[in-house]
A = this chain, B = another copy of it.
Amino acid sequence: MNAADFSAFCPAPKRAEVIEVCPRDGFQNVKAFIPTATKIAILDDLAEAGFKTIEVTSFVSPKAIPQMADAAEVLTEFRRKHVGIEAVALVPNVKGAEKAIANGAHTLNFVLSASESHNRENTRRTVDESLTELAEVCHLTGASHVHASVATAFTCPFEGDVPKDAVIKLVDKIIALGCKGVSLADTIGTASPRKVYGTLRAVKERFPQARVVLHLHDTQGMALANIMTAMSLGYNIFDAAAGGLGGCPFAPGAAGNVATEDLLNFLTALGVETDVDAGKVLNAAMKLPKLTGVPLCSHMAALTMCKTGA
């Protein structure tokens, strides 16, 4: 098989960057509290796999998401143990940002939504109010430490289709604030390659130099097809969660993120290199059911369990 053939269809990048988000997006959807030491042990496994960036935790209301009540301890311990890995903390507001800064996050991932309904459910603010808070956060810590995540960038559980113009308008404001990058999230995993292509092509045309991360849930099993579509447009930075854990507590029906081990296997199969050791991620993922009490949603883990009889 001639690899050049395939690149005529999908000119995939030579390298991709994978950001591990299981400790934040995965854990926040686990109902039973995962002991802090367990969280740290899982982070140790993931750090070992070679990620340059890990979303370690989130500073959110412990009433809304009790699982993240130990964010300060987890982040502090991660930073102490894993010097050299960019430690990201998700924050939905100034209050969370202050705590994340106080606990040494390298990067704040400020979350807001492209759709008003989801932004209200997720942050109890209008999108404009979230943008005002984002500006304050940029002022607090310097915009170069702030990344913004646009939830519901393709579809919204409450509003359905999200027009690409709404995304462009929001990304425009985010970039004007000087943020270091922006994530576009398929929060509920209902975007198709057609939808992804339309929005991502427009974003690439408008912001060719921006650091754009894709955060895709796999509710409909289309995450890898969406990632391939994105790569054909030159995108090469992807969030993923070991074991396919995740979801959105305020987005009914959302399945987990694309499993990191499935994404790494896919990238390898397409000849795209990363810094991450897929075998180590798979091993870390295989431990998660015992450690977190939730089942995996991972093709590579299922295949391994089937082959080994585990």
Nearest opposing residue in chain B for A258, CB measure: B221
CA distance A33 to B234 in the complex (A): 50
Determine whether A270 belongs to the interface, using a CB cutoff of 8 Å to chain B. Answer: yes
Q: Is the CB of A1 within 8 A of B199?
A: yes
CB distance A10 to B193 under 8 Å? yes
* A232 to B, closest residue via Cβ: B9
Q: Name A220's contact: one of B9, B199, B219, B262 (CB within 8 Å).
A: B262
Contact B262 A221 (CB under 8 A): yes
CB distance from A1 to the nearest CB of B (A): 3
- Identify which of residues 229-249 in chain A touch chain B, using a CB-to-CB cut-off of 8 Å: 229, 232-233
Q: In chain A between 213 and 228, which residues have their CB closer than 8 angstroms to a CB of chain B? A: 218-222, 224-225, 228
Contact B194–A270 (Cβ < 8 Å): yes
A302 interfacial contact with B, CB 8 Å: yes
Partner of A5, one of B2, B197, B222, B299: B197
Chain B residues whose CB sits within 8 angstroms of the CB of A10 once the complex forms? 9, 193, 229
Contact present for B266 and A1 (CB under 8 Å): no
A158: interface (CB < 8 Å):
no
Tell me which residues across on chain B come within 8 A of A289, comparing CB atoms: none
In terms of DSSP, what is the predominant structure of the interface of chain A?
helix
A201 at the interface (CB under 8 A from B): yes
Q: How many A residues touch B, CB cutoff 8 Å?
A: 45
Residue of B nearest to A300 (CB): B220
Verify A299–B255 contact, CB threshold 8 A: yes
> A252 an interface residue at 8 Å Cβ cutoff?
yes
Cross-chain contact B197 with A6 (CB below 8 angstroms):
yes
A269 neighbours in B (Cβ, 8 Å): 192-195, 220, 222
Let me know if A293 is at the binding interface, CB within 8 A: no
Question: Do B9 and A303 have beta carbons less than 8 Å apart?
Answer: no
Q: For A220, what are the chain B residues with a Cβ–Cβ distance below 8 Å?
A: 262, 265-266, 269, 299-300, 303
Nearest chain B residue, comparing its CB with the CB of A299? B221
In the bound complex, CA of A231 to CA of B141 (Å): 48
Contact B222 A9 (CB under 8 A): no
24 pairs, CB–CB < 8 Å, chain A vs chain B:
A1-B161, A1-B164, A1-B194, A1-B197, A5-B198, A192-B269, A193-B269, A195-B269, A218-B221, A219-B299, A220-B262, A220-B266, A220-B269, A221-B221, A221-B224, A222-B224, A222-B266, A225-B225, A228-B229, A253-B303, A253-B307, A255-B299, A255-B302, A255-B306
